[in-house]
Every structure is written in C-alpha cells, then in structure tokens.
C-alpha cells in the first residue's frame, strides 16, 4: 500500500515533466519566429547570399507547388459541389453556392490542405537538408566564414515558407471557386451567371474571413519553418538522427497547424 502513493507521484511527475517540456518547446518556437520577424526588418539581414536563399525557398516551396495545389483545388471544388448539390437544389443554389464555398474553402479546407502539402513537401526537405548540413560540418564552416547560420539558414526558410503558404492558399481558393462554379454547371446545379456567382462570393466574404485566411496561413507557415529548421539543426552526431528529426518536425508541424487553426477560429468567429 505504501508504494501506491510513490507510483502515483512518479506518474504525476512524468506527466508534469512532459507538459513543461512541451510548453518550453512552444515557447522556443515562438521565440524563433519572433527573432525571424525582427531580423527580417533589418537591412543588414539581406545581403545577396541571403536573398538568393530566400528566392530559392520561394521557388521550391511556392512556385514549384502551384501545379499540384491547383489540381488539388480543382478536385476539392468539385467534391464540395457534388456533396452539397442536393441541399443547394432544395434551398436555392444560385444564392448559396458562393457562401458555401467561402465557408468551406476559405475558412477551413484551403489553409489546412495547403499547409499539409507544404509540410509534407518542403518541411521534410528543410529538416533533412539542415540535418545533413549540420552533421557534415557545413554549418560550422558558414560560421567560420563570418556568416551567421541563423540569418543565412533559418530566416529565409521561415519567411519563404510563410509567404509561399499564403500565396498558395490564395491560388487554391481561386482555383476552387472556378472549379466549383464549373462543376455546378456540369452537374446541373444552375449556379446562375458568373457575375451573380462572384457577387455572392464577395457578399459572403467578411473581414473576419480575410483575417482568418491570413492568420491560418502565415502563422502556421512560420511555425512550420521554425520547427523544421530547429529540428534539422539539432542533429549533431550521426546520420541516423536525420530521419528521426524529420519525423519529429512533421509531427510537431502538424500539431502546431491544428492548434493554431483552432485558436484562430476561436478568435475570429467567436
């Protein structure tokens, strides 16, 4: 009987230690994002070498993903219209197709899907690249050459991922609206003229929706960049650490995405 309290204390201590560790990880990631924002507004942060890294990150994360994101948006718009076709016919689809697409695509589906695409496509690449760079000694070489690893490696990647996710989400939403309208014509939902459809979309779009879109793309994008960079740079001794760091980066980026999305929804719509 005397061992039960000790066992309970041990479990409570482990739970408390895990909670404190995760809280400190969140604080550390927020601090990294804040440091990136502060550095981004300093002119000395942007020599040619850093601008080149930033441009390559935008090219890889944003531009090269446009085709896949557009295809995903087309399928999503088609799926939303097919799923809501019967309901729209019952209540008057001409006025409600736009608001339904705004509610589904802009508020939730668009930011979530684009973030997942970037996490799986670019997050893994960033964590793996920086992990191998640190293990092979390239980070130490950069430091020895007078290049700040934080400025050269972290800042352009975090900003590049945040900006790319925002731009890709805008493209996703536009492509989904076009796909939704065309799909509604094909399935006989009679959405009305393009003018009425666009008018219904803008009529349903509220300032809270714009703020929701910006926050659900920029904030998780910056957090994803910070998490992937720190996890990659945490690899220091063996190559076998890199896959583990990449897995942790994916899991923590996904968790951060859901937490931030839930908090933003609470802030903007309650």
Distance CA 222, CA 211 (A): 16
Range of the domain at 125: 3-269
Name the one residue in this structure whose structure tokens are 């890709």.
Answer: 168
Contact assessment for residue 238 and residue 113, using Cβ atoms and an 8 Å cutoff:
no
Q: Please, what's the largest Cα pairwise distance for the chain? A: 77
CB 220 within 8 A of CB 257: yes
Residue 125 tokens, joined: 């690449």
Rounded to an integer, what distance in angstroms lies between the CA atom of residue 148 and that of residue 156?
Answer: 12
The number of distinct structural domains making up the chain is 1
Please check whether residue 33 is in contact with residue 226, taking contact to mean a CB–CB distance below 8 angstroms: yes
Backbone conformation region of residue 42, classed left if phi is above 0, alpha if psi is from -120 to 50, else beta:
beta
Each residue's pLDDT, cut to its tens digit, for the chain (270 residues) gives: 445 566 666 777 777 777 777 888 888 889 999 999 999 999 989 999 999 999 999 999 999 999 999 999 999 988 887 777 656 555 555 566 777 788 889 888 999 999 999 999 999 999 999 999 999 989 999 888 888 899 999 999 999 999 999 999 999 999 998 888 888 777 766 667 778 878 888 888 888 899 999 999 999 999 999 999 999 999 888 888 999 999 999 999 999 999 999 999 898 877
Query: Helix, strand, or coil here: 42?
Result: coil
């Amino acid at each position: 009987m005397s061992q039960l309290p000790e066992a309970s204390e041990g479990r409570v201590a482990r739970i408390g230690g895990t909670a404190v560790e995760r809280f400190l990880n969140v604080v550390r990631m927020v601090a990294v994002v804040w440091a990136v924002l502060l550095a981004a507004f300093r002119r000395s942060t942007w020599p040619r070498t850093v601008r080149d890294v930033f441009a390559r990150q935008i090219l890889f994360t944003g531009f090269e993903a446009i085709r896949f994101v557009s295809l995903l948006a087309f399928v999503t718009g088609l799926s939303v219209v097919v799923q809501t076709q019967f309901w729209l016919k019952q209540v008057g689809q001409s006025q409600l197709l736009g608001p339904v697409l705004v509610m589904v695509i802009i508020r939730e589906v668009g930011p979530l899907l684009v973030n997942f695409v970037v996490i799986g496509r670019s997050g893994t690449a960033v964590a793996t690249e920086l992990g191998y760079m640190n293990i092979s000694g390239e980070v130490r070489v950069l430091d020895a050459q007078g290049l700040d690893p934080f400025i050269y490696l972290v800042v352009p990647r975090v900003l590049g991922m945040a900006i790319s996710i925002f731009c890709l989400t805008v493209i996703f939403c536009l492509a989904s609206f076009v796909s939704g309208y065309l799909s509604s014509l094909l399935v006989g939902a009679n959405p009305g003229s393009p003018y009425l459809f666009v008018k219904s979309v803008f009529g349903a779009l509220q300032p809270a929706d714009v703020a929701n879109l910006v926050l659900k793309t920029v904030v998780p994008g910056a957090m994803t960049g910070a998490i992937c960079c720190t996890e990659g740079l945490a690899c220091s001794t063996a190559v076998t650490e890199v896959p583990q760091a990449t897995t942790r980066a994916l899991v923590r980026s996904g968790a951060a995405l859901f937490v931030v999305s839930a908090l933003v929804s609470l802030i903007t719509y309650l």
